């Protein structure tokens, strides 16, 4: 399977999975700890996992993520923006909650995505015809 098709399918399935957690499970079911905490940070973890693949799928004309340095810079920039987004949640105007767990989940997701993309997606799948 070509890398672009794999990234597209991953992003679509991952987004549906995030929606199921955010709007199907968490609002209607009362989970006990630690599952409640895991479902709280899961959208950040999954979203961060999907960021490089979504960028490759949608912006491969403009950003060459097959280059390890470019992918590393993309992940660092994305992490900075994710932290900034979380810091904006400290402003009461937005009505959202700040959570260190979301930052940690985003960091773990981007790191795992970086490893997965450098070892598999952009190396093995990019050579597929």
How many CA atoms, within 13 angstroms, populate the side-chain half-sphere of residue 17?
A: 15
In this predicted structure, what is the pLDDT of residue 127?
63
In this predicted structure, what is the pLDDT of residue 75?
93
In this predicted structure, what is the pLDDT of residue 95?
78
Tell me the whole-structure pTM to 2 decimals: 0.87
List Cα–Cα distances, 105 to 18, 113, 114, in angstroms.
14, 12, 14
In this predicted structure, what is the pLDDT of residue 60?
81
Alpha carbon 94 to its chain's center: 22
In this predicted structure, what is the pLDDT of residue 23?
94
CA distance 12 to 9: 5
Give the mean pLDDT per block of 10 residues along the chain (129 residues). Answer: 87 96 91 92 94 90 86 93 91 84 94 90 67
At 95, list the tokens: 């009505």
């Amino acid at each position: 399977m070509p890398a672009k098709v794999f990234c597209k399918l991953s992003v679509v399935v991952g987004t549906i999975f995030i929606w199921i957690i955010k709007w199907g499970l968490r609002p209607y079911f009362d989970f006990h700890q630690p599952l409640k905490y895991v479902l709280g940070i899961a959208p950040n973890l999954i979203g961060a996992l999907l960021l490089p693949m979504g960028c490759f799928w949608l912006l491969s004309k403009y950003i060459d993520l097959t280059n390890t340095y470019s992918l590393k810079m993309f992940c660092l920039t994305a992490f900075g923006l994710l932290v900034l987004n979380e810091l904006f949640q400290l402003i009461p105007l937005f009505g959202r909650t700040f959570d260190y767990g979301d930052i940690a989940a985003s960091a773990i997701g981007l790191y795992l995505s970086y490893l997965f993309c450098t070892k598999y997606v952009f190396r093995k799948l990019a050579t597929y015809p």
